[in-house]
Amino acid sequence: MSRPLTDADRRRQISVRGLAGPENVGELKKNFNRHLHFTLVKDRNVATSRDYYMALAHTVRDHLVGRWLRTQQYYYEKDPKEGGGWGRFGVSLPVLGCPPQFWGPSQPLLCCPRPQLGLDMEELQEIEEDAGLGNGGLGRLAACFLDSMATLGLAAYGYGIRYEFGIFNQRIAGGWQVEEADDWLRYGNPWEKARPEYTIPVRFYGRVEHGPDGAHWVDTQVVLALPYDTPVPGYRNNTVNTLRLWSARAPNDFNLKDFNVGGYVQAVLDRNLAENISRVLYPNDNFFEGKELRLKQEYFVVAATLHDIVRRFKSAKFGSRDPVRKSFETFPDKVAIQLNDTHPSLAIPELMRILVDEERLGWDQAWDITVRTCAYTNHTVLPEALERWPVHLLESLLPRHLQLIYEINQRFLDVSWGGGPGVVRTGGGPRGLGIERAWIGGMENKVKFAAYLEKVSGVRVNPASLFDVQVKRIHEYKRQLLNCLHIITLYNRIKKDPGKPFVPRTIMIGGKAAPGYHMAKMIIRLVTAIGDVVNQDPAVGDRLRVLFLENYRVSLAEKVIPAADLSEQISTAGTEASGTGNMKFMLNGALTIGTMDGANVEMAEEAGEQNLFIFGMRVPDVEALDRKGCGA
């Protein structure tokens, strides 16, 4: 008779290998119907396509949960160095949209659902909402970090804000951009799991008192950060990491006294103000309240995340919430924190505040730990894109952090310039990318995208034409204006000599303008106006078409990037830190026309400059022109 397993025996069995999946397609069908009936309380007579999507999502989620739990158990047992990163995630992390190779035994169901369940997989994928967590290259890289680390089996957490309304939906009315709310959570999110037991209080305002035992931040306003976890599966392995998103909640005792004595409206307004922190992505900061809300958002995610990281560092293995680690000497050996751009930069003073004020470490030791723990990547080199905050705003909202920033700055200046020659060393090197190239060619993607455009917008394009694509955030430095000038030039050439042979070209420009960026909105209006002229000219016909791709987002990128023939990467040299769309287009087989800017430089070095269409000034030329002036 075998003896019962001890806790130690069970822990030794923890592994992320060898987890069995569903035995057969029949089991998955059974789970699908179970969720349809018992989770959604529907049957085939009344179920909608969204109900089928939700049932399938819950079925796939069940398939992930065992791996998710086992991964966390494995991390607690092995206690590896853990990576954490902030980002505005420009991706929905759509599990149903993943290639069927991710799922192994479930491939027959997910790849060919029509004969198995009578459902159209592509229709179900279209129902899945893009998560409103961010946009652009910054969010795309954050999502790529999570995907890659899960695939490599690295212990990692992603952190962000669970925005109730994400990046706005863009509608073009009369040629102008109109912003509409992106209520991506209105039907619920089947992939997330609330974790109220790990709710963290985040403090704002107040004042600083200095005593014999150090500084104390007192008389603060408290907002609760409620975490929601989403699984992030690796590719062809059993690793499932976690994306933890914070939602702002007012404390339970929100001005209850005022409420009870008749101040109902003010009490409710105060509660709404607290929860506005996670209400919307990118509030307009052209006015003071918008700036304050943005700064609140940035500190909210930083404070909640760092307290969560410190809690896990101090906790025992196997999920115990009792502190066991007292010393922070090993903190940099167990934790690596990646700061994605300037938005989470308050992590530096916040980690210093935790170490100095709460853990009572000396300044030099705390600074050494902070420097060895945090890494930073910038995503632009434009001075105006590097965030600046009014001193009086920081002083009011985060008084202790402003004191720490002053101290950090003073010590840096003392080392750099005080008392003799100082050397400030900065380091940066080329980043190697290990990417498996999967080239997607042929006409299939172009035909599919042309059919999609006709279906959703009624616009007919010739799939045999050259698909010339520029999709990115609308900004002056990205030079959509230069593309417009090229379109006008092509149009004038056709009008001048209509009988001359001309390669048919469909030019597509897409992207969103920040709500408060008037010039970017004017650029969108210019593109649509040019399109109206070109597309309605019978002398041009199908030889030149101009389209503005409305509401550019992750799910639209998944369609247009594989269909592109030519990728426009034409920012002014020296303005783009890297860019990510250029790499995605190249990996999907598009030719690149562009300047020697951002990652175009590395792409030219790796692929050979002769394999890209490079034009325009180099960085030294641009700098020389800036010094001389355009009118010189």
**Most confident residue range from 113-122, 268-277, 598-607:** 598-607
Whose CA is closest to 227, among 294, 313, 312, 152? 312
Domains and CATH numbers, the chain: 23-78+95-129 (no CATH), 83-93+130-383 (3.40.50.2000), 444-628 (3.40.50.2000)
Residue 10: the pLDDT is 53
pLDDT at 433 over 60: no
Q: What is the pLDDT of residue 9?
A: 57
DSSP assignments along 162-226, one per residue: --SB-SPEEEEETTEEEEE---TTTT--TT-EE-GGG-EEEEES-EEEEETTEEEEES-EEEEEE
Specify the residue for token string 């809300």.
293
Contact present, 123 and 49 (Cβ < 8 Å): yes
Mean pLDDT calculated for residue range 550-579: 92
Give pLDDT, residue 429.
35
**Catalytic annotation present for 584:** yes
Q: Out of 162, 244, 379, 521, pick the active-site residue.
A: 379
Average pLDDT, the chain: 84
Catalytic entry in 140, 479, 584, 595 = 584
> DSSP class of residue 323?
B
128-161 per-position pLDDT tens digit: 888 877 766 677 788 888 999 999 999 999 999 9
Beta strand spans in 514-632 (E):
544-549, 566-569, 591-594, 613-614
pLDDT tens column, 214-231: 899 999 999 999 999 999
Q: Which of 400, 478, 505, 545 is catalytic?
A: 478
What's the confidence (pLDDT) of residue 26? 81
Instruction: Name residue 567's beta-bridge partners.
Output: 469, 592
Active site residue 580: yes
Helix or strand holding residue 268 (H, E)? helix 264-275
Statement: residue 332 has pLDDT above 70 = yes
pLDDT (0 to 100) of residue 267: 65
Give residue 100's pLDDT band: very low, low, confident or very high (50, 70, 90).
very low
Confidence grade of residue 316 (pLDDT, cut at 50, 70, 90): low
Question: Which residue bears the tokens 């923890």?
Answer: 14
What is the model's pLDDT at position 262? 59
* Catalytic (active site) residue 500: no
Per-residue CA distances from 531 to 103, 175, 179, 549 (Å): 43, 10, 21, 11
pLDDT tens, position by position, 72-90: 988 888 888 877 666 554 4
Question: In this structure, what DSSP letter does residue 548 have?
Answer: E
Confidence of residue 438 (pLDDT cuts 50, 70, 90): very low
Whether 91 shows a pLDDT value over 70: the answer reads no
Tell me the one-letter amino acid at 198: Y
* Mean pLDDT within 318-333: 76
Confidence of residue 351 (pLDDT cuts 50, 70, 90): very high
User: How far apart are the C-alpha atoms of 266 and 401, rounded to whole Å?
Assistant: 29
For 273-284, the pLDDT digits (tens) are 888 999 987 655
| Alpha helices, H only, 374-418 | 391-397, 399-417
The full DSSP string for 100-128 is GGGGGGGHHHHHSHHHHHS--HHHHHHHS
Q: Of 472, 475, 521, 553, which is the active-site residue? A: 472
State yes or no: pLDDT of 314 exceeds 60: yes
478 in active site: yes
Q: Are 21 and 63 spatial neighbours (Cβ–Cβ below 8 Å)?
A: yes
pLDDT for res 172? 93
- Assess whether pLDDT exceeds 60 at residue 8: no
Confidence of residue 384 (pLDDT cuts 50, 70, 90): low
* Residue 156 Cα distances to 27, 231, 232, angstroms: 32, 11, 10
Q: How far apart are the first and last CA of the chain?
A: 94
- Quote the pTM value: 0.76
More reliable by pLDDT, 33 or 262: 33
Q: What is the pLDDT of residues 26-52, one digit of tens each?
A: 888 899 999 999 999 999 899 999 999
Q: Which of 36, 22, 21 is nearest to 117 (CA)?
A: 36
Number of Cβ atoms within 10 Å of the Cβ of 326: 7
The active-site residue out of 473, 505, 512, 545 is 473
What was the pLDDT predicted at 284? 54
